[in-house]
Every structure is written in structure tokens, then in C-alpha cells.
Amino acid sequence: MTLRAILTDADREPLLARTRQLAEMAREEDFGRGDITGARLADQGTGRFRLVAKQKGVFAGREIAATVLDVYSPDLSVRWMEAGADGAIIAEPPQDLAELAGPVDAVLAVERVLLNFLQRLSGVATATRRYVDAVAGTNARIL
């Protein structure tokens, strides 16, 4: 089940606004005084970053990825693979989830922050799936 499927627009907008705020805070923390490496890589062309699941689990975070990318650069784009759908089960790693492309400095700047969001959300989704599986066949529900 995707975030879009379980949240109303009234719930979704504040969540994406908070995501933007957190991504802006991360950007400020990383580059508040400037980024020497990024400055040297500016105008160095386009770079690519492959997002690969290396463990079994449940992927989550696609819904917020566009917000995080937008905070770092409007020139970043992402192409999602089938395994990169929110709620997708990663049963046989490694699995390509997505490919990020854009200016080299922007790709390098955003990759760690995007990974932090996606790893955390996927970890929560994976733990939740374990709980749901553990109570399967009972009257219990995980909320």
C-alpha cells in the first residue's frame, strides 16, 4: 500500500511540507558555510546515481523523494524501477530501485540525505511488515 493510498490530501500536504523542512535543514547543516567539493565540481556535466537495495525488506519513501530532490536542485531527475514502488517487497537483493541524474555537484549533495530518508522509511516499513506477518490469521491489526 502506498502513502498516496492511505493518506488524504489534507494529511499528505503537511507531511510533504515537513519533509521539505527537514531536507532544507539537512542542506543547511551540510552546506551552510559552502561546499568546497561541490564548488569544484560545479559545471562538470551530468552525473548519475543508482539507488540499489542490498538487503531484503520493504521499500518506502518514493512519495517524498521528489520533495527532497527539489530542495537540492530543480535540475535533478529520477527514473524509478519497478522495485522502487512504495511498499515493494525486496525479496532478492541486489535490486535497482531508481536512477538519479543531474548536475554532478547536485547529485553528490543530495545522495546522502536522500539515502537517509529512504533507509529510515524502508526500515520502518520492513519492521511493520514483520509485525503484520506475525499477527496474520489472528484478529489483531497493526496500525
Axis-axis angle for helices 9-31, 62-72 (nearest 10):
40
Question: Tens digit of pLDDT for each residue in 9-40?
Answer: 788 888 899 999 999 998 888 766 655 555 55
Q: According to the model, what pLDDT value does residue 9 have? A: 79
Name the residue with higher pLDDT: 29 or 7. Answer: 29
Alpha helix ranges (H) inside the chain: 3-6, 9-31, 36-41, 62-72, 104-134
Q: According to the model, what pLDDT value does residue 13 have? A: 87
Question: Tens digit of pLDDT for each residue in 78-111?
Answer: 999 999 999 999 999 999 999 999 998 889 889 9
Average pLDDT over residues 101-129: 92
